[in-house]
Structure 1
């Protein structure tokens, strides 16, 4: 009987163990408190421990019952569109304002797919912009200007 190992599972589980362990270790510098009177370090410790335990389970699963996974071609268009969209949003949200930045970012993200047509991308971008404005600016009352100084509004 051939034993297969799943490298993606082992890698993903290892990342979970590292991140969960880092949160657990980092939380030890804060007061933990008790389960009834939790301190600031209690929640990160519990979440980090749970994340590390789940990661360990994924590693064990990958070592015991792995499966052969074949990767296809890397979707470079999607990688580039998502990267450009994130960088664009980060650098322009304060200068252009939330609405135009969200519109352009959503449009760029929608163009990551090769199957989306231009009109559909514009409609999705407009819908996401309206929804995100209602959620973040109106609902959560974030203090982000709707239109920034670059637009003169």
Structure 2
């Protein structure tokens, strides 16, 4: 009898742990600082630690609970989500934060097999307002809301 009871969770947990290790390794060259005086490497290291802990939890859950083996790769979701991340990175400067984010969130909902237009619109509005509140108002990041293509700057 195999000690792996849920291969999907075990593989996901291992992937999370590997990504956390990769990101932490990449952030090692940056000064971390302290909680009171954070350096540029502090936030990436905290996120890496959180992803690593999540990976360990998912991995142990896969060893404890019964589950299905992976059936196939969701190519549609993989292609859409990868493409929209690249789009966001390219579109931030010419379109601005809000339009690039809104398009990215809306198109990313197309990756779901259970896509519904009403849910996509609600998700887009909620996520765009949330990101504006966190990054622009809360953290005070100097991100242009509209880019030069839309009359901003």
Could you tell me the TM-score, scaled by structure 2's length? 0.61
1:15-34 superposed matches below 5 A: 16=17, 20=21
My pick for the range that moved more, 90-99 or 73-82, is 73-82
- Give the SS at the match of 2:111: coil
* Equivalent in 2, 5, 16 of residue 4 of structure 1: 2
RMSD of Structure 2 on Structure 1 (CA)? 3.7
**Structure 1's 129 and 73: CA in aligned 2 closer, same or farther, altered over 3 A?**
same
- Give the SS at the match of 2:114: coil
How many residue pairs get aligned? The number is 125
* Structure 1 partner of 2:139: 140
Shift of 1:78: 1.1
Give the whole-Å Cα distance in 1 for the aligned partners of 2:106 and 2:65.
38
* Structure 1 partner of 2:91: 92
* Structure 1 partner of 2:80: 81
Give the whole-Å Cα distance in 2 for the aligned partners of 1:93 and 1:20.
28
Contact 1:5–1:67 (Cα < 8 Å) also in 2: no
Could you tell me the TM-score, scaled by structure 1's length? 0.61
* Structure 1 partner of 2:124: 125
**Structure 1's 131 and 76: CA in aligned 2 closer, same or farther, altered over 3 A?**
same
Q: Which runs of 5+ in 1 are unaligned?
A: 31-43
Q: Which runs of 5+ in 2 are unaligned?
A: 32-44
Shift of 1:152: 2.1
1:46-57 superposed matches below 5 A: none
Contact 1:4–1:67 (Cα < 8 Å) also in 2: no
Give the whole-Å Cα distance in 1 for the aligned partners of 2:82 and 2:18.
26
**Structure 1's 113 and 15: CA in aligned 2 closer, same or farther, altered over 3 A?**
closer
